[in-house]
A = this chain, B = another copy of it.
Amino acid sequence: MESHYVLSLLFRRARAQDVPAIVAMLADDPLGAAREGDPNDERYLAAFERIDTDPYDELIVAERDGKVVGTMQLTYLAGLSRLGAERCQIEAVRVSAAHRGEGLGRKMIAWGIDRARARGCAMVQLTSDKSRTDAHRFYDSLGFVASHEGYKLAL
């Protein structure tokens, strides 16, 4: 996989040793704090291995000066709709607290959009909790349209 540099910022696929840093970012969040556990829990590594071996799934990290400072997951979804078009779904977007406000999230999402376009995806989609109003302004400004209701059912 090619790597893209923007100044000192690198986006690349995550490696197993990045998992604790990624989990720490997932947990360092008003909504995520209550639902995450020990970053070294083996279930996180098992989920990483599944993503890493799935040809349609990519766990991405943003690395600045050798340090993981952001993450997102890209999943390439098949479907019959729209003449069998592939869609890219973005999940689990996080920027480390120490690096917020630097435009890092914008560069990361833009990199993901470019990557989906280069694959020939017809659409990029994501959902964002209705309480994340700052995130909504962010996605609006990137050209996303909040055209859908995002439904969740906890099992």
Once bound together, how far apart are the Cα atoms of A41 and B85, in whole Å?
A: 12
Say yes or no: A146 contacts B155, CB within 8 Å.
no
Given the complex, which residues of B lie within 8 Å of A151, measured CB to CB?
125-128, 139, 144-148
Contact of A149 among B47, B54, B130, B152 (CB under 8 A): B130
In the complex, whether A69 has a CB less than 8 A from a CB of chain B is no
State the Cβ distance, A33 to closest chain B Cβ, in Å.
12
Say yes or no: B113 contacts A153, CB within 8 Å.
yes
Contact of A147 among B81, B121, B136, B152 (CB under 8 A): B152
State the Cβ distance, A75 to closest chain B Cβ, in Å.
6
Contact of A122 among B50, B121, B155 (CB under 8 A): B155
Once bound together, how far apart are the Cα atoms of A148 and B59, in whole Å?
A: 22
Given the complex, which residues of B lie within 8 Å of A50, measured CB to CB?
78
Known: A148-B150, A150-B149, A153-B142. A47 touches B78 (CB 8 A): yes
Contact with B along A39-57 (1 / 0, CB 8 A): 0010110111011001011
Q: Can you list 9 A-B pairs with a CB-CB distance of less than 8 A?
A: A32-B81, A35-B83, A46-B84, A54-B56, A59-B80, A77-B89, A79-B91, A125-B152, A127-B148
Q: List residues of chain A with CB under 8 Å of any chain B CB.
A: 19, 22-23, 26, 32, 35-37, 41, 43-44, 46-48, 50-51, 54, 56-57, 59, 73, 75, 77-85, 89, 91-92, 113, 116-117, 121-130, 136, 139, 142-155
